[in-house]
Structure 1
Amino acid sequence: MKVASGVLLRAATGDDLQGVIEVGQQTWPATYGPIAGKDYVAMGLAKWWTADATIPAIRAGRVTVAEYDGEIVGMTSVGPLDGKLALWKLYVLPEFHSAGIGGMLMRASIAKAKADGYDEMVLSYLDGNDNARGFYEHYGFTETGRESTGGGVPDSVWIHLPLSNHPGETVLDGQHA
């Protein structure tokens, strides 16, 4: 699949709200159901993938969308955490996995973090999400600790990427890859 060549990365606007939420609605059950169960998926969708949870990040300019053929097919959301830039969300619709869109979004997030003066990027993923682990390791992230979430849910694995010597890639807002 050679989709990435027609993908547009840009800052999300208010008009993208439903598309951004739909990415979560489609990716979470497939990603987290097998790892953490239906209750965790339902909790996450209700807590992190609603208009109330998404609008502030869009308004603050912290959400980037990947658009293909007029449809939002992926997104990231970032924000500061203890002097570092946290990558809170990076999701691509299942039918667009392995098309290079996740990599485009990751490289753009790294470039923006560096441009904004951050020395480090951090994120967490659920233990057992081997696809996420491999993806982040590919970009140079290493584990810094684990956090127990309880309730039978796997640990959150915290990882980081020092940015001072990371090559990064410049991706301008609205640029076609």
Structure 2
Amino acid sequence: MSADAGWRLKRATAADAAALSLVASACFLETFAGILQGADIVAHCAKANDAVRFRSWSDDGESRVVVAEIATGAAPIGYSVLTTPDLPAVEIDPADIELRRIYTLSRAHGTGLGPALMAQAIVDARAMGRRRMLLGVYAGNDRARAFYQKQGFVKTGERQYQVGATLCDDVIYALTL
């Protein structure tokens, strides 16, 4: 939590699913508009960011979802999701966890929210007894890749990932916890 920056972090519950669905789609649109086709973004968001998925992750004992909110009014501005790894390009160990999502709206860039979400994800992963955190990121997302590298992640593989009708190249990163 950071009152100075005007936002706070909290562990999400099923009651946050609709808000998470909204902020997830807004963040994805904001991140990939101009990079991916609009129709692909819309199709991806409809499939990947539905409230049912966030409710399921929030209720799953093997997952952790954190929502970042504006301190005044509790509007969501970012989130992270830790869950069971689904990265076929990497050998998965039972002690691994995947940082499936970590996004903030651009209004929060530079406030320390991204590093705070990452720090919380690391704390949560360690508390769950995990020893390695994995994530996949669009190879062309230089800003995100630089952020992960600054956090200590190292490249361990590559995969292709479907976004709407577009096949994208991803980089797989790992962080030893």
Using structure 1 for the length normalisation, give the TM-score: 0.83
> Do structure 1's residue 109 and structure 2's residue 121 form an aligned pair?
yes
The 1:99–1:4 alpha-carbon spacing in structure 2 relative to 1, beyond 3 Å, is farther
TM-fit CA distance, 1:139? 0.3
Give 1:91's aligned residue. 103
> Do 2:78 and 2:103's aligned partners in 1 also have CA atoms closer than 8 Å?
yes
2:21 and 2:4 map into 1 onto residues whose CA distance is: 21
Whichever residue aligns with residue 89 of structure 1, its letter is R
SS at match of 2:34: helix
Q: How does 1:11-90 map to 2 (within 5 A)?
A: 11-60=11-60, 62-68=64-70, 69=72, 70-81=74-85, 82=92, 83=94, 84-90=96-102
> Do 1:63 and 1:78's aligned partners in 2 also have CA atoms closer than 8 Å?
yes
Q: Which deviates further from its counterpart, 31-40 or 17-26?
A: 31-40
Whichever residue aligns with residue 80 of structure 1, its letter is T
Give 2:8's aligned residue. 8
Q: How does 1:151-162 map to 2 (within 5 A)?
A: 152-162=166-176
> Do 1:124 and 1:158's aligned partners in 2 also have CA atoms closer than 8 Å?
yes
Could you list the runs of 5+ residues in structure 2 that have no partner in the other structure? 86-91
Could you list the runs of 5+ residues in structure 1 that have no partner in the other structure? 164-177
TM-fit CA distance, 1:30? 1.9
TM-fit CA distance, 1:120? 0.3
2:14 and 2:7 map into 1 onto residues whose CA distance is: 20
SS at match of 2:168: coil
Q: Deviations over 1:74-105 (max 9, x none)?
A: 11111122321100111112211221111100
Q: Deviations over 1:8-32 (max 9, x none)?
A: 2211123322221121121111212
Q: Which has the higher contact order (CA 8 A, sep 6+)?
A: 1
The 1:12–1:160 alpha-carbon spacing in structure 2 relative to 1, beyond 3 Å, is same
The 1:142–1:46 alpha-carbon spacing in structure 2 relative to 1, beyond 3 Å, is same
2:109 and 2:127 map into 1 onto residues whose CA distance is: 27
> Do 1:145 and 1:159's aligned partners in 2 also have CA atoms closer than 8 Å?
yes
2:79 and 2:64 map into 1 onto residues whose CA distance is: 10
> Do 1:128 and 1:154's aligned partners in 2 also have CA atoms closer than 8 Å?
no
Aligned CA-pair RMSD:
1.9
The 1:133–1:90 alpha-carbon spacing in structure 2 relative to 1, beyond 3 Å, is same
Whichever residue aligns with residue 8 of structure 1, its letter is R
